[in-house]
Structure 1
Amino acid sequence: MQISPPKHLAGFIKHYIFLENSQKNNRNLRLFADGNTGMIISADMHMHDAEGNFLPLSFFYGQPTSYKNLGTEGPFSLLAVVFQPYFFNLLFGIAAKEIRNEIIPAEDIIQDRLAPFQEAMDRKSAPRMLISGLNSFFTHLIASKNNADLWVIQLQQYMLLNKGMASLRMLEHFSGYSERHIERTFQNHIGIAPRKYNSIIRLHHFLSLAKNKAPEQNMAELCYSAGYFDQSHLIRDCKSITGLTPTQYIKTKNKLAVNFIELH
């Protein structure tokens, strides 16, 4: 279940995703980069990383640059709050590049302020009621924060509009800043370099085209429509970000979210 935030939060939160698994069997999952950071809230999740280390029940995750293999044991329910890319830096004043690829226990950043939401998850409260409470929580947090550099947000939106095809020269012309200043500020606010962000955007544009493709369209046509010079470039980017070839990803049946899939 994917739920949009209210309009006044749309510039900070992309969407909420509620996931529930009632099966007792273990599951192998993969999370990969989509250009955003976020937060996971759960009361009963037994999720571990590829090394077998169990993750906190609730945590923030920094900007991923590739993919993470995860495992779950038994039933679980979780709520993912997917932030706009610059929101973590704005909210907590932490340079986004410092938490790139990191998972941070929520209590390390906001103490026990998520406890009521974890308890609501434990009581199996309706997701929309839980999200309504979170909307109030984030509205209160945002009210006490300074705005992020507006030009960085505008630049990120410009890159989205250009579907990952905005060159550094185009970014310089759009923003009026030098390449070096753009690189440094973008990494502080977004967590990764503009070039890497472009590649993530472009791949997700391809995945969107593939999901909605007409029957007569083939892989080559989708590849060029997404802005790739050739299929080898697409395959290289897709394997780097998702760990799968485009064909393998498209054939993956259980997509919990566009960047969160079950592996078999």
Structure 2
Amino acid sequence: MQLTPPKHLAPFIRHYIFLENSEKDLRNMRLFTDGSTGLILSGDMALYTHISGEKMPLSFFYGALSSYKDFYSEGKFSLLAVVFQPYFLNILLKASAKEVKNQIISVEDVLQNKLEPFQESLFHQADPGSVINRLNIFFTAFLKKETGSGYDTIKAVQHYILQHKGSVSSKALEKFTGYSERHLERKFENYIGVSPKKYSNIIRLHYFLNMLNRGTGHENMTALSYRAGYADQSHLIREFKNNTGLTPKQYLKTENKLAVNFIEL
């Protein structure tokens, strides 16, 4: 289930996603970069990192990802993902997004028990819609006290990159903002965690991914790669694999896509 936030929260929250698993079997999952940051809320999830086997906190923030992270879960679970606009984590944590890039941060370490009622609601299997409504109230109250105007430039640049589907040059961004490439890069890394070039590459990849998932049926992979702004198919495949760990064809064959960038392996 995916729900959009109210209009006044849309500049900070992209959407909410509720997921649940009723099976007891072990499941391998991969989260790959889409340029966003976010919050995972759960009351009963047993989730582990694939490399170290370390158990994840029940609820955690995740910073901007350079590529992908693999997890596995044991037993039944339900979770609510709050997918942020990329700069919102910087506002929420009051920390440079570059410092938390690729990091998992326990909610308890940042907000103590402020999100505990939402975890308990999920544990007791409350209606996800009601939990999301209460989260909207929580984030609205937070933003009334905390929001400054420092992110306005980054928000405008992000919108510009999205409008151009990631196919923008450094020169075009310099002209649009009036900032030098290095100055804009520092601001982007502070608010979003990655450079404008890296963010543009992620957006272009997801533009291709969107066309791939729609399955127009009359265009082959090469034609889609050109439409997305790639010089050739080999460039696309290399970029796709660096970010997702899969080739486009392997991604298409993935049966259980929990979200566009969260898949079961």
TM-score by length of 1: 0.98
Q: Superposed, which structure 2 residues align to 1:234-249 within 5 Å?
A: 234-249=236-251
d(CA) in 2 for partners of 1:122, 1:149: 35
Q: 2:162 aligns with which of 134, 156, 160?
A: 160
Unpaired segments of 5 or more residues in structure 1?
A: none
Aligned to 2:179: 177
Unpaired segments of 5 or more residues in structure 2?
A: none
TM-score by length of 2: 0.98
Q: Superposed, which structure 2 residues align to 1:117-196 within 5 Å?
A: 117-145=118-146, 146-196=148-198
d(CA) in 2 for partners of 1:41, 1:17: 10
Aligned to 2:8: 8
User: Is contact 1:238-1:246 (8 Å) kept?
Assistant: yes
Q: Aligned letter for 1:253?
A: E
Say how many residue pairs are matched. Answer: 263
Does residue 261 of the first structure (1) align with residue 263 of the second (2)? Answer: yes
Does residue 38 of the first structure (1) align with residue 43 of the second (2)? Answer: no
d(CA) in 2 for partners of 1:212, 1:220: 16
User: Is contact 1:90-1:148 (8 Å) kept?
Assistant: no
Cα-Cα RMSD: 0.7
Per the TM alignment, residue 217 of structure 1 is displaced from its structure 2 partner at its CA by 1.2
Q: Aligned letter for 2:6?
A: P
d(CA) in 1 for partners of 2:99, 2:73: 27
SS in 2 for 1:78: strand
Per the TM alignment, residue 148 of structure 1 is displaced from its structure 2 partner at its CA by 3.1
Q: Superposed, which structure 2 residues align to 1:106-125 within 5 Å?
A: 106-125=107-126
Runs of 4+ in 1 over 6 A off after TM superposition: none
Aligned to 1:21: 21
Q: Superposed, which structure 2 residues align to 1:224-239 within 5 Å?
A: 224-239=226-241
d(CA) in 1 for partners of 2:245, 2:125: 34
d(CA) in 2 for partners of 1:65, 1:47: 21
d(CA) in 2 for partners of 1:72, 1:242: 19
Deviations 1:101-154 (A, max 9, x none): 000000111111011001100110000000000000000111111233311110
Deviations 1:170-203 (A, max 9, x none): 0000001111110000000010011111111111
Q: Aligned letter for 2:135?
A: L
Aligned to 1:88: 89
User: Is contact 2:87-2:151 (8 Å) kept?
Assistant: no
Q: Aligned letter for 2:104?
A: I
